[in-house]
Amino acid sequence: SAVISQKPSRDICQRGTSLTIQCQVDSQVTMMFWYRQQPGQSLTLIATANQGSEATYESGFVIDKFPISRPNLTFSTLTVSNMSPEDSSIYLCSVDPGQGARETQYFGPGTRLLVL
Amino acid sequence: GNSVTQMEGPVTLSEEAFLTINCTYTATGYPSLFWYVQYPGEGLQLLLKATKADDKGSNKGFEATYRKETTSFHLEKGSVQVSDSAVYFCALGFSGGYQKVTFGIGTKLQVIP
């Protein structure tokens, strides 16, 4: 298993500003994922972040809006840039420890973002 | 592509009632199936999983059986408690170098005393 922490846990931001969310894992992992959970909806994968390479973004998400860093095997950041009220969501990071043939993902507690 | 369909909520039950949350999936290949739970104000936690057909996942009194013939993974619990009130997500994923998990929309369960 893996224990994941996120900072901040919640924030209220003004339109047009940017927020960087941090994700810390208690063990080294190759793959980290960033998800968005909009109010009343399921999780949508934003991007996959592997250490030492560029993040891979899903359809509908671009690097200019959601830049991601992955400086080492235990840490990643997601920035939500030039925010608008539509960016109000819960942002979750998760990891795939890759310990077995069909290992699952472990999630952080999420960052609750409200954009005014 | 892959998809997960689960029953719309909210589901409201009295304490000690029987719970079923339906989940069906569409996938190419042989996915692993998961149920995640999200308690109010928290992130997702893995509740149970099954990795191949006819496997039964179980945890905390919840169980679900991987049914390949009906492409289903329904969640059941014989007697729910108020503390089970949460949102439940059915999901599927694949092993390999890149495991992308596909989630259902989530079903909110409210258990009343």
Q: What is the pLDDT of residues B44-62, one digit of tens each?
A: 888 999 989 999 999 999 9
* pLDDT over 50 at A102, yes or no: no
A42 pLDDT band, cuts 50/70/90, is: confident
User: Nearest C-alpha of chain B: how many angstroms from A107?
Assistant: 6
Nearest-by-Cβ selection for B43 from A41, A45, A109: A109
What phi and psi values does residue A11 have, to the nearest 5 degrees? Answer: -160, 150
Task: Output the pLDDT for position A82.
Answer: 97
pLDDT of residue A101: 42
Query: B45: alpha, beta or left, given left = phi > 0 and alpha = psi -120 to 50?
Result: beta
Q: What is the mean pLDDT of residues B64-89?
A: 96
Q: In terms of pLDDT, which residue wins out, A2 or A32?
A: A32
User: What confidence tier does B71 reach under pLDDT thresholds 50, 70, 90?
Assistant: very high
Q: What residues of A are in contact with residue B101 (Cβ under 8 Å)?
A: 45, 104-105
Residue of A23, A104, A111 to mutate when probing chain B, most B C-beta within 10 A: A104
For residue A42, the tally of other CB atoms under 10 A from its CB is: 18
Answer whether B49 sits within 8 Å of A104, measured CB to CB.
yes
Q: Which of A77-91, A102-116, B99-113 has the lowest mean pLDDT?
A: A102-116
Residue A40 has pLDDT above 80, yes or no: no
The yes-or-no verdict on residue A100 having pLDDT over 90 is: no
Does B45 contact A107 at a Cβ distance shorter than 8 Å? yes
Q: Could you tell me which of A31, A62, A30, A70 has the C-alpha nearest to residue A46?
A: A62
The Cα diameter of chain A in Å comes to 44
pLDDT score of A43 more than 80: yes
Q: Which residue has the higher pLDDT, B42 or B12?
A: B12
Mean pLDDT (whole number) for B20-29 = 93
- Mean pLDDT across chain A, nearest whole number? 90
Q: What is the DSSP string of A15-72?
A: TT--EEEEEEESS--SEEEEEEE-TTS-EEEEEEEETTS--EEPTT--TTTS-EEEEE
